């Protein structure tokens, strides 16, 4: 469950103000969030196709 909490907090927390704003870093984080969402959607689709 702690992995899910970390994943949820990574996806939904606001921008970290501790570090200097870097355009490339923020773009990388945005791409990572999109890829995590796509992966989770794919897992749900696979789950329903296998157990239907």
DSSP per residue, 9-43: HHHHSPPPTTSPP-HHHHHHHHHHHHHHHHHHHHH
Residue 52 placed within a domain: yes
Domain count, the chain: 1
Q: Is residue 4 part of a domain?
A: no
- Tokens 């921008």 locate to 15
**pTM (2 d.p.):** 0.60
Q: What is the pLDDT of residue 46?
A: 96
| 36 CB-near residues (< 8 Å, 6+ apart) | 7, 10, 11
Please write the tens of the pLDDT for every residue from 27-40: 888 888 889 889 99
Classify residue 32: in a domain, yes or no: yes
Quote the domain boundaries for residue 49: 23-52
- Does 45 fall in a domain? yes
pLDDT at position 36: 87
Mean pLDDT by runs of 10 across the 52 residues of the chain is 73 61 80 89 95 86
Residues in the chain: 52
d(Cα 14, Cα 3) in Å, to the nearest integer?
A: 19
């Amino acid at each position: 469950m702690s992995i899910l909490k970390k994943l949820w907090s990574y996806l939904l927390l606001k921008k970290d103000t501790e570090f200097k704003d870097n355009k490339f870093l923020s773009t990388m984080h945005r791409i990572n969030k999109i890829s995590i969402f796509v992966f989770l959607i794919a897992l749900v689709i696979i789950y329903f196709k296998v157990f239907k």
